[in-house]
Structure 1
Amino acid sequence: MTEKIICAGFGGQGIMAMGKILAMSALREGKSATWLPSYGAEVRGGTAHCMVVLSDGPIASPMVEKADSLIVMNDPSLKRFRTALRPGGLLLVNATLAQCLGTSRRLRVVKAPLTQMAIDLGLEKVANTIAIGVYLGLKKIIALSTMEKSIEEVLAHRPNLVAINKRALEEGFFFAQKLNKSR
């Protein structure tokens, strides 16, 4: 199994944390992982993306030219990276901030109101963690409990945010479970 992921949004949406949590979780489960962050010139408010590769074996390069999964948090990221998704890949779109219009390639498109779900939880900044939960619920390549441990580690310097991020992860996971049942 090798899974190539691009996470993209604007600076301040937790894009780097999203990739780091995915990579750390894979490592916790004995898989190989790479995480390649890329910040736009403006950083907060500018474009930010990261590339994550997860594999059962060695990884030759952290660069992702054609992703298996693309998680986009806003319209500029969708426009910039949609051609980097391989045919048949998963396109997870934050439907609160991005409009996914028709595409000519066969993709598995999942629209989730990530930012609105985060606002409903009480903290808009956990939209990234909800996205991870949705992704995990759709792909099932890492255990939910492993992701929770990685969240604890990444947020060790902000212990007051651990509980809400775990809840956000679970909300996203259960959102995906409902989608899977309705298919």
Structure 2
Amino acid sequence: MTEEIIIAGFGGQGVLSMGKILAYSGVMQDKEVTWMPSYGPEMRGGTANVTVILSDDRISSPILHEYDTAIILNQQSMDKFEKTVKPGGTLIFDPNGIMHPPTREDINIYKIEGAKKAAEMGNPKTFNMIILGGYLKVKPVVLPENVKKGLEKSLPERHHKLIPINLEAIELGKESLETIHSV
């Protein structure tokens, strides 16, 4: 099994940390993993993306031009990465800030109202974990206990008290995912 993922949005949406948690979760599951962040000089508010590869086999290169899954959190990222999803692949998006939703007919498309659900939870910082939960529902590439270990590894110890709310957000994300198009 190899899963090649791009997660893209604005800086401050938790894009890089979502990728890091997914990568650590894969490490905890004895997978081969790459995590390659990319962000503009403006950081918060600028565009950010991260490529994560999880594999049972050795990974030859972290550089990708096509992805099994794209998780898209803003319009600029939709414009740039929708076309890079492999035919038969998966695109997950939060409609908040997306003016032109995905239109491809050859991929699976899912919508998750992460920003809205995070606001309803009373904690906007859980946004990225809600999105991650939606992804893990469609692609359960790591076990829940390894996601918990990934959170423990990636969050500073002073924030470990937030792990339960993050796990709750992941479960909410799994419940909140909507299928838009299936191939």
Amino acid at match of 1:114: G
Please name the residue that 2:167 is paired with. Answer: 166
Q: CA deviation at 1:88?
A: 1.4
Compute the displacement of 1:100 (Å).
4.8
- Tell me the alpha carbon deviations over residues 24-68 of structure 1, each in whole angstroms, 9 at most, x when there is no partner: 111111110000000112111000000001100000011121000
TM-score (norm 1): 0.91
| Count of aligned pairs | 178
**Aligned equivalent of 1:91:** 91
Deviation readout 1:62-102 (Å, 9 max, x if unpaired): 11210000001111111121121111111000122324535
The DSSP-based 3-state class of the residue aligned with 2:77 is: helix
Q: Say whether residues 1:134 and 2:141 are aligned partners.
A: no
Q: When the two structures are superposed, what TM-score results if normalisation uses the length of structure 2? A: 0.91
Q: Does 1:5 align with 2:19?
A: no
Structure 1 pair 141/87, CA: closer, same or farther in 2 (3 Å)? same
**Secondary structure, in 3 states, of the residue corresponding to 2:96?**
coil
- Which position in structure 2 is the counterpart of 1:47? 47
Q: What does 1:10-159 align with in structure 2 at a 5 Å threshold?
A: 10-155=10-155, 156-159=157-160
Cα separation, 1, equivalents of 2:101 and 2:132? 22
Report SS of the residue matched to 2:52: strand
- 1:5–1:64 Cα contact (<8 Å) kept: no
- Once the two structures are TM-superposed, the CA of residue 171 in structure 1 deviates from its matched residue by 1.0
- SS for the counterpart of 1:158 is helix
**RMSD of the TM alignment (CA)?**
1.6
Q: Any idea what SS the aligned residue of 2:163 has?
A: helix
The answer on whether the counterparts of 1:6 and 1:64 sit within 8 Å (CA) in structure 2 is: no
Q: Which runs of 5+ in 1 are unaligned?
A: none
- What is the letter of the counterpart of residue 160 of structure 2? P
User: How many percent of aligned residue pairs carry the same amino acid?
Assistant: 38
